[in-house]
């Protein structure tokens, strides 16, 4: 059964705007992607998604965990981040329409944090805000059937992927199939759905914008609950996607100074690198520009060098 929603003029305008930006991003961005940029965006995504759920670790601490360094912090928060790193590292291996993969992702995400991760709940659950029940999820006995219907909807090729990703996200939150981890799974799986048709979403941390607009996120869920259709949530999420793509395009279209390039590269976390590594991050600069940048980095004492000529290595402190 198709989940209920309306296609409004605002949604149509957003679909048009998002589609145009995806085309621009594919042309300007995908052929310039770098492992360093992808890593940075992954860290932002993990930080934003877990921050919504109350995780206290900073981007710097998450970066350290990605680099297999020790971090001081609450054990639960560290476990949440380590699990998220493992899941996001294999994002491209999940099939969006596979319920088995969906459950596997939840198991990885919540391992060591809840009982029976990767299994649907077997008891009732509600979301309480203050002294009020904000949302009473469907009975546990209905969950398996509701989720099978939702995955059947995902397989409907007549539906636009942009719409399906938003509808799935909302309906999954409404069903609340797990005892815990529903929010982060909804956001994760929307990314998986979008990535299958638009690979650029694997490099776009749109969860950062959700984190910055949490009140609107929960309002859109609440309005959709009360109206019995996901229209408000679709509108909100398409707006988030549109704004995230706009930010990505602004970044790609701006001309960076040598100092900005150096600062950005240092944030990637590569401790030992060559001029070729530097140029792989900034694909539009010449070898001469790269050499000037790196010379300036040495003058600014941002890093040191070893070796000569083609064997030169740059070392971050």
- My answer on whether 153 and 236 are in the same domain is yes
- My answer on whether 113 and 262 are in the same domain is no
CA-closest candidate to residue 14, choices 219, 246, 253 = 246
> Is 4 part of a structural domain of the chain?
no
> Is 274 part of a structural domain of the chain?
yes
- My answer on whether 224 and 271 are in the same domain is no
CA-closest candidate to residue 173, choices 240, 110, 218 = 218
CATH of the domain at 75: 1.10.3290.10
> Is 132 part of a structural domain of the chain?
yes
Computed on alpha carbons and rounded to an integer, the radius of gyration of the chain in Å comes to: 22
Q: Give the CA-trace dihedral at 274, 277, 279, 282, to 10 degrees.
A: -140
Q: Which helix (H) or strand (E) holds 305?
A: strand 304-306
DSSP string spanning 152-177? HHHT-TTS-HHHHHHHHHHHHHHH--
Q: In sequence order, what are the residues at sequence separation of 6 or more whose Cβ sits closer than 8 angstroms to the Cβ of residue 139?
A: 124
- My answer on whether 155 and 104 are in the same domain is yes
> Is 245 part of a structural domain of the chain?
yes
Q: Which of 207, 222, 253 is a domain's end point?
A: 253
Q: In sequence order, what are the residues at sequence separation of 6 or more whose Cβ sits closer than 8 angstroms to the Cβ of residue 161?
A: 193, 194, 196, 197, 198
User: CA-to-CA distance for 297 and 257, rounded, in angstroms?
Assistant: 13
Full-model pTM: 0.79
- My answer on whether 244 and 272 are in the same domain is no
Domain span holding position 184: 9-253
Residue 46 contacts residue 210 (beta carbons within 8 Å):
no
Per-residue pLDDT of the chain (317 residues; tens, 9 = 90+): 789 999 999 999 999 999 998 887 776 655 455 566 677 788 889 999 999 999 999 999 999 999 899 999 999 999 999 999 999 989 999 999 999 999 999 999 999 999 999 999 998 877 767 667 767 789 999 999 999 999 999 999 999 999 999 999 999 999 999 999 999 999 999 999 999 999 888 777 788 889 889 999 999 999 999 999 999 999 999 999 999 888 877 766 556 678 878 877 886 667 899 998 888 877 778 888 999 999 999 998 899 999 888 889 999 88
| Residue-level pLDDT at 260 | 75
Q: For the chain, how many structural domains are there in total?
A: 2
- Which pair of tokens denotes residue 148? 């099978």
- My answer on whether 160 and 266 are in the same domain is no
Q: Which of 253, 276, 296 is a domain's end point?
A: 253
- My answer on whether 87 and 212 are in the same domain is yes
> Is 3 part of a structural domain of the chain?
no
CA-closest candidate to residue 263, choices 297, 231, 288, 238 = 297
Q: In sequence order, what are the residues at sequence separation of 6 or more whose Cβ sits closer than 8 angstroms to the Cβ of residue 272?
A: 313, 314, 315, 316
- My answer on whether 118 and 193 are in the same domain is yes
- My answer on whether 89 and 179 are in the same domain is yes
> Is 2 part of a structural domain of the chain?
no
- My answer on whether 212 and 291 are in the same domain is no
User: Is the torsion defined by CA of 100, 104, 105, 110 positive or negative?
Assistant: positive
| Residue 126: strand pairing partners | 136
SS3 at position 113: coil
| Residue-level pLDDT at 254 | 57
> Is 102 part of a structural domain of the chain?
yes
> Could you report how far apart the first and last alpha carbons of the chain are, in Å?
58
CATH of the domain at 294: 1.10.10
Q: Which of 253, 274, 295 is a domain's end point?
A: 253
User: How many alpha carbons fall within 13 Å on the CB side of residue 112?
Assistant: 12
- My answer on whether 276 and 150 are in the same domain is no
- My answer on whether 293 and 176 are in the same domain is no
> Is 101 part of a structural domain of the chain?
yes
DSSP annotation of 310 reads G
């Amino acid at each position: 059964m198709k989940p209920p929603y309306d296609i409004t003029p605002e949604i149509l305008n957003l679909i048009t705007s998002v589609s145009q930006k995806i085309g621009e991003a594919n042309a300007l961005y995908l052929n310039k992607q770098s492992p360093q940029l992808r890593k940075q965006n992954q860290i932002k995504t993990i930080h934003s998604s877990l921050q919504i759920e109350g995780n206290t670790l900073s981007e710097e601490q998450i970066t350290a965990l990605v680099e297999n360094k020790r971090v001081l912090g609450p054990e639960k928060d560290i476990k949440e981040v380590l699990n998220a790193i493992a899941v996001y590292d294999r994002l491209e291996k999940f099939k969006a329409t596979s319920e088995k993969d969906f459950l596997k992702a939840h198991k990885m995400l919540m391992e060591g944090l809840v009982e029976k991760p990767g299994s649907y709940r077997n008891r009732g659950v509600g979301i309480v805000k203050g002294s009020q029940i904000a949302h009473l999820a469907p009975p546990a006995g209905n969950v398996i059937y509701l989720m099978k219907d939702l995955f059947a909807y995902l397989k409907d090729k007549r539906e636009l992927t942009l719409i399906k990703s938003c509808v799935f996200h909302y309906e999954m939150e409404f069903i609340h199939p797990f005892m815990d981890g529903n929010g982060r799974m909804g956001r994760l799986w929307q990314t998986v759905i979008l990535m299958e048709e638009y690979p650029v979403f694997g490099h776009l941390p749109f969860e950062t914008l959700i984190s910055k607009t949490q009140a609107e996120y929960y309002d859109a869920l609440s309005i959709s609950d009360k109206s019995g259709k996901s229209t408000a949530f679709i509108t909100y999420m398409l707006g988030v996607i549109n704004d995230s793509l706009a930010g990505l395009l602004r970044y790609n279209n701006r001309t960076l100074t040598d100092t900005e390039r150096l600062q950005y590269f240092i944030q990637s976390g590569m401790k030992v690198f060559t001029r070729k590594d530097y140029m792989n991050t900034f694909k539009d600069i010449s070898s001469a520009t790269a050499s000037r940048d790196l010379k300036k980095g040495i003058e600014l004492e941002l890093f040191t060098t070893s070796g000569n000529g083609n064997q030169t290595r740059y070392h971050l402190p």
